[in-house]
A and B are shown apart, each in its own frame.
Chain A
Amino acid sequence: MEKESPTNRREYSRVYAYIPLSFRKVLPEERPVVRARLAGDTILPGGGVVVPEIGDRILYEWLKMLNGKLDSIIRVLTIHAEGFQYLHPKAVQISGSGMSFSSAEPFDSGDLVELKMILTVNQPTALFAYGEVIKVEKQTSGYIAAVSFVKMDDHIRDEIVRFVFEREREILREKRLTE
């Protein structure tokens, strides 16, 4: 029988990923009002309207498809409206509890950072997350900052966890292909 792994204090697994990301330090006066959110949440609260079931199955499927397409268009428009299309992909290590990324500017422990990112699982999910800097490491060029997510509701954390899970699947598939 395999040995029990030592007690794992980590709550969520983490993965390496390459995601469109930008970040900025949150100003002290902004601190009380910021909260993690999905881009377009105000336009499509709760992920949009769900088509109610109707008797005609074929018509229902068509309406559902149209609804899905409209949601996607609105989502893309929102992503554009909030400037997500200008984000550059960055290598990060991400989990449901936090992430680490490279930065040219130094952060101090305790700083609050706004993270603007796009996570792509089945469709792109653009979101604003906030992280408190817990560790900063100096690199040959720049720094590696590790942040712990704060001011985040479970539904946004679930989006990140889902992304991590899908990314793990991708990594495993790649690993098995190269074996």
Chain B
Amino acid sequence: MIVIIGCVIVTVAVIGGYLMEHGNLSVLFQPAELVIIGGAAVGALIIATPMKMLKSIIGSFLGLFTAKARGTVDYLEALMLLNGLFYKIRQEGLVSVESDVDQPEKSSLFNKYPKILKNPRAIGLVTDTLRMVMTTTIAPHELEALIDTEIEGHFEEMINPSKTVTFVADGLPGLGIVAAVLGVVLTMGKIGSPPEVLGHSIGAALVGTFLGVLLCYGFVGPMGRNMEHTATEEIQYLQVYKAALIAFIGGAAPKVAIEFGRRVIPSHDKPSFLEVEAALRKAKR
């Protein structure tokens, strides 16, 4: 939603400013230029990107318009899920979470948090970590290194669409020049025409440059940056799971382990100690 609002503001500001100077809107409407720039940008993207990555770019791009930013509630839910798991392990033993870990989609514990269940990265991190604990002698510090490697991998995977979109954005001014040059070539063909025709033709050619720069700095570039922020936010979210899991496996009591998780939540989304305590009490009832 916020992306759409941003796009509207950019459009209104640019077109509005143009109209304030009594600009002629019909001159700006050059579908051919859009086809040249947009088509070339999409083509360049396809040349530069493997199919798998294209799919994840499309996913990330759609996510820009549909996904909601993480908030306190999401982090609180993550802490509650971990707390539920930790208490179950403490009360009923590690064996008791075996089925939850093997089939989280059928687990009553995980099903209390459907939003988390839809996040394969978070679920994978929790279940794979517990599986490692159950099946190996891995020490907490080794486990931490392992989770770090996994999170790094996720980051690389999530940051790549952003890098590619930024690469496309960087190419847009250049493609705008291509469209402008083509417009000038067309103008050359009309060199004997009256000045109004030439002016219109040169104006249309310049719209190519305008569109290329505007799309780069006004739309596609910021979208790439947004994808980068989303990836960073997702990593911060996974760090909460990591901190709590490592603390618990290292021997911390569930409440202490949860606090380890709470401490790594970004300050603007961090639930207060009392909020977490209240949520834990509510979950216990």
A residues lining the B interface (CB < 8 Å): 1-5, 8, 10-15, 96, 122, 154, 158, 161-162, 164-165, 168-169, 171-173, 176
- List 10 tightest A-B contacts by C-beta distance, closest first: A13-B93, A168-B94, A162-B251, A172-B134, A168-B93, A8-B91, A13-B92, A4-B108, A176-B135, A1-B108
8 contacts between A and B (CB under 8 A): A2-B106, A8-B91, A12-B90, A13-B89, A15-B93, A164-B93, A169-B94, A176-B135
Q: Which of B130-181 contact A (CB under 8 A)?
A: 133-137, 139
Q: How far is the CA of A158 from the CA of B257 in the complex (A)?
A: 13
- Whether B47 is near chain A, meaning CB under 8 Å from some CB there, is no
What's the minimum C-beta distance from B79 to chain A, rounded to whole angstroms? Answer: 20
CB neighbours (8 Å) of B139 from chain A are 122
- Whether B232 is near chain A, meaning CB under 8 Å from some CB there, is no
- Whether B26 is near chain A, meaning CB under 8 Å from some CB there, is no
Q: How far is the CA of A10 from the CA of B90 in the complex (A)?
A: 9
Apart from A11-B90, A171-B95, 9 more pairs, CB < 8 Å: A2-B99, A3-B108, A4-B108, A5-B96, A13-B90, A162-B251, A168-B93, A172-B95, A172-B98
CB neighbours (8 Å) of A162 from chain B are 251
B residues lining the A interface (CB < 8 Å): 89-96, 98-99, 106-108, 111, 133-137, 139, 251, 253
Q: How far is the CA of A12 from the CA of B134 in the complex (A)?
A: 18
> Of B91, B94, B106, B251, which one neighbours A172 at CB under 8 angstroms?
B94
Q: How far is the CA of A169 from the CA of B133 in the complex (A)?
A: 7
CB neighbours (8 Å) of B98 from chain A are 172
- Say yes or no: B91 contacts A12, CB within 8 Å: yes
Number of A-B residue pairs with CB-CB distance less than 8 Å in the complex they form: 61
Closest to B110 in A: A1
Most buried by A among B106, B135, B251: B251
Q: How far is the CA of A2 from the CA of B106 in the complex (A)?
A: 6
- Say yes or no: A173 contacts B91, CB within 8 Å: no
- Say yes or no: B137 contacts A173, CB within 8 Å: yes
Closest to B251 in A: A162
> Of B96, B99, B111, B136, which one neighbours A173 at CB under 8 angstroms?
B136
Most buried by B among A158, A164, A168, A176: A168
Known: A169-B133, A173-B137. Contact between A2 and B251, CB under 8 A?
A: no
Q: How far is the CA of A128 from the CA of B99 in the complex (A)?
A: 36
Q: How far is the CA of A168 from the CA of B99 in the complex (A)?
A: 15
CB neighbours (8 Å) of B92 from chain A are 5, 8, 10, 13
Q: How far is the CA of A8 from the CA of B84 in the complex (A)?
A: 13
Closest to A159 in B: B251
What's the minimum C-beta distance from B23 to chain A, rounded to whole angstroms? Answer: 62
Known: A173-B134, A173-B136. Contact between A158 and B253, CB under 8 A?
A: yes
Most buried by B among A12, A154, A169: A169
Q: How far is the CA of A4 from the CA of B107 in the complex (A)?
A: 9
CB neighbours (8 Å) of B133 from chain A are 169
Known: A1-B106, A158-B253. Contact between A173 and B135, CB under 8 A?
A: yes
CB neighbours (8 Å) of A158 from chain B are 251, 253
What's the minimum C-beta distance from B140 to chain A, rounded to whole angstroms? Answer: 10
- Say yes or no: A172 contacts B99, CB within 8 Å: no
Q: How far is the CA of A3 from the CA of B107 in the complex (A)?
A: 9
What's the minimum C-beta distance from B87 to chain A, rounded to whole angstroms? Answer: 9
What's the minimum C-beta distance from A99 to chain B, rounded to whole angstroms? Answer: 15
Q: How far is the CA of A119 from the CA of B239 in the complex (A)?
A: 32
> Of B89, B91, B106, B111, which one neighbours A165 at CB under 8 angstroms?
B89
CB neighbours (8 Å) of A168 from chain B are 93-95
- Say yes or no: B90 contacts A2, CB within 8 Å: no
